[in-house]
Chain A
Amino acid sequence: MNSAYLWILLPLVVAVILLLIMRWRTVAAMVAATTSLVLAILAAWLPGQEQVVIWQWGVPFSDTLDFFGRQLELSTADRPTLIVLYLAAALWFSAVPLARPTRLFVPLGMAIVALFTAAIAVEPFLFAAVFIEIAVLLSIPMLSPPGRTVNRGVLRYLIFLTLGMPFVLISGFLFTGFEIGPGDPVFVAIAISLLAIGFALLLAVFPFHTWIPMLSQESHPYPTAFIFLFLPIAVLLLGLGFLDSFVWMREDPNTVLLIQVIGAVMIVTAGVWAAVEKNLTRLVGFAVILDIGFSLLAISLAIGSDPLTFRILFIAGLLPRALSLGVLALALSSLIGRIDSYNDEHIRGLVKAYPVISISIIVALFSLAGLPLLAGFPFKLGVIESLSSELPAISFWAILGSFGLIAGTIRMLISMVSDGIESDEKPREPRLLIIFLAIGIGLLFLIGLYPNLILQVIARFPEAFAAFG
């Protein structure tokens, strides 16, 4: 038995099986959700030992798999990330019958999660860029399903993500040999510039952010939000890999400052655009950019003053994001066919017609903005509070960006409660959808009120943060 077989190969095999049974959408979704849930439970439960005892048999268990001269390693340190990844995947697949994205979503989604896991596992870590690119290629058919012309958002997404990969690869190879200390300053400056461009493309940093709102406007909300959740996780973990490997880079105060400035720029630009946005799905795109900005700030703190706390906070912050995006994606997907478009003039009267869907959208957006009592709040508060003591200017801009998203959400809420066009037919929300959304909203409030529930699970794995404690 090997951890790579369990969390990479098995989901890939399941993805192939799902491809064969995708005709039965509900069955495929349940198989994918169950597999993901089992893998998340195994990540939490399976001890990180050389031998795993199953009933009375001792099964040898290894963390490392040799793969064409390189290694795929999923140690106990990676367990918190695995829990978050597969728990989020289970959540996503379980609501597929309600959201009704393309049938390709479940098998391709499963394969993408496996590839992102491979990206976390591969050593040397910079090969992760290649796995991320393969996952991006796999995601195209679910973002642009058969029977439709490919939209500009998908093309731009493909271009930017494919452009980012070689920049990261080349800079990674240039850094080889500089693990302990930097070499020629000019050479290092070039390598760092290439790396910064690569990550700016992969993380949708201004001015390479345009694909996010375009994609969220033009593609189905469910697979789009899936990509918005998993892709930044994989890229941010790749970035952490760089910082972990090159100690001098991590300890250079300019690195911390650069990440903080980029994070603040993302938050402010997203906040400003969100405040004036008139399309609901584009607003979700800006909310995602804002959240990535906060993750960057958390990473900057994780390599700065208090590494242990902020590393935990970074991982813990992923679950509220998954939950918020999941609720948003499901609610927005359920509006397909019920409204003409997501523009503000077409969502007038939505609260009256579809109260649960409307409330879910607003609550999830507020959670992403970091409104108190909701799941996103504790994570964002932690980041802002710490920044305010070190760099009050950055913390001020972060708060301002969040206010921008809150303002944009309030504008959408005003449109939703305004009188809309009356229809003869009484609109109806499916009962199962109401149950799912109600659970989602409930969890958003629960995590907001008791954030320790997540932190305790994540902090159970001290090995994950040992290097930083």
Chain B
Amino acid sequence: MIEILSFPVVILVFLTSTILLISWDWRVSLFSLAVQYIGVFILVSISWPVETAAVKLVAGIMSSAVLGLALYNLPKDMTQQNRLVASGFIFRVIAAILASLFAITSGSKLVEWFGEISIEQAYGALILITLGLIQLGLTTRPLRVVIGLLTLLSGFGILHAAVENSILITGLLAVITLGLSIVGAYMLTAPTLEETR
């Protein structure tokens, strides 16, 4: 069942991570992030039992919720982002397509190296890693940085799931996912908090 879904899921993670790259509305971004974690969950389920893979889904959706709550409580002028200009939009879309082409051409190599990983997992992981890196390279905003890191770690999470199945590391990686979102929420709200000096 999971295997049937795996190829459409690769397209899904490509779409969500591209939306994360081009969207200027935080609601759209966080919705895409949550949907992306559904894709990650399905790709991880190829290697792990569904109940273990669900940890990634729960942690990811909770992370989106934490960031969403932080942004919802911020004054509107602090959450507004300028729309991308046409050239910026085109640049990002082309970057996303090129990164995905790289992921598709390198995926088979990854399968060769790792052995246990399926081709769909390799595609999904590489798409998330490359688009996460592009996101990190194009921004200095805390929200975008955290989204970029979460995307990138999701990609590594798929690779890691193929080579290791440890409860402790699964739990600790979920803690890091949640921790990153809490740190992101803190960085967003820090300017509005009372100084502790």
| CB of B145 closer than 8 Å to a CB of A | yes
Residue among A144, A155, A165, A173 making CB contact with B140, cutoff 8 Å: A155
A146 touches B195 (CB 8 A): yes
A226-248 residues at the B interface, CB under 8 angstroms: none
Q: Please name all residues of chain B whose beta carbon is closer than 8 Å to the beta carbon of A67 when the two chains form the complex.
A: 168
B169 touches A127 (CB 8 A): yes
Kindly count the residue-residue contacts between A and B in the assembled complex, taking CB atoms under 8 Å apart.
Answer: 106
Known contacts: A134-B172, A158-B145. The answer to whether A148 contacts B191 by CB under 8 A is: yes
| CB of A57 closer than 8 Å to a CB of B | no
B191 touches A147 (CB 8 A): yes
**Residue of B113, B169, B175 with highest tally of chain A CB at under 10 A:** B169
**Residue of A137, A152, A165 with highest tally of chain B CB at under 10 A:** A137
Q: Please name all residues of chain A whose beta carbon is closer than 8 Å to the beta carbon of B136 when the two chains form the complex.
A: 159, 163
B166 to chain A, nearest CB (A): 7
A177 to chain B, nearest CB (A): 11
B75 to chain A, nearest CB (A): 14
B176 touches A146 (CB 8 A): no
Known contacts: A140-B187, A159-B149. The answer to whether A166 contacts B160 by CB under 8 A is: yes
Q: Please name all residues of chain A whose beta carbon is closer than 8 Å to the beta carbon of B148 when the two chains form the complex.
A: 159
Q: Please name all residues of chain B whose beta carbon is closer than 8 Å to the beta carbon of A144 when the two chains form the complex.
A: 187, 190
Chain B positions near chain A (C-beta within 8 angstroms): 113-114, 136, 140, 142, 145, 148-149, 152-153, 156, 159-160, 163-164, 166-169, 171-173, 175-176, 179-180, 182-183, 186-187, 190-191, 193-197
| CB of A427 closer than 8 Å to a CB of B | no
Majority secondary structure of chain B interface residues (helix, strand, loop or mixed):
helix
| CB of A145 closer than 8 Å to a CB of B | yes
| CB of A352 closer than 8 Å to a CB of B | no
Please count how many residues in chain A sit with their CB below 8 Å of the partner chain's CB atoms.
40
A134 touches B175 (CB 8 A): yes
Can you name the residue of chain B whose Cβ is closest to the Cβ of A152?
Answer: B140
A130 touches B169 (CB 8 A): yes
Bound-state Cα–Cα, A187 to B109, Å: 11
B125 to chain A, nearest CB (A): 10
Question: Can you show 29 pairs from A to B with CB atoms below 8 A apart?
Answer: A67-B168, A69-B166, A69-B167, A70-B166, A102-B196, A103-B196, A127-B168, A130-B172, A131-B172, A133-B176, A137-B180, A141-B183, A145-B195, A145-B197, A146-B190, A147-B196, A148-B190, A148-B191, A149-B190, A155-B140, A155-B145, A159-B148, A166-B153, A169-B156, A169-B160, A170-B160, A173-B164, A174-B114, A190-B113
A68 touches B168 (CB 8 A): yes
Majority secondary structure of chain A interface residues (helix, strand, loop or mixed):
helix
B78 to chain A, nearest CB (A): 10
Bound-state Cα–Cα, A166 to B152, Å: 9
B176 touches A102 (CB 8 A): no
A147 touches B176 (CB 8 A): no
A141 touches B168 (CB 8 A): no
Q: Please name all residues of chain A whose beta carbon is closer than 8 Å to the beta carbon of B195 when the two chains form the complex.
A: 145-148
Instruction: Please provide the 10 A-B residue pairs with the shortest distance between their CB atoms, ordered closest to farther.
Output: A147-B195, A146-B193, A166-B156, A68-B168, A137-B179, A103-B196, A130-B172, A150-B187, A173-B163, A149-B191
Q: Please name all residues of chain A whose beta carbon is closer than 8 Å to the beta carbon of B153 when the two chains form the complex.
A: 162, 166
A122 to chain B, nearest CB (A): 9
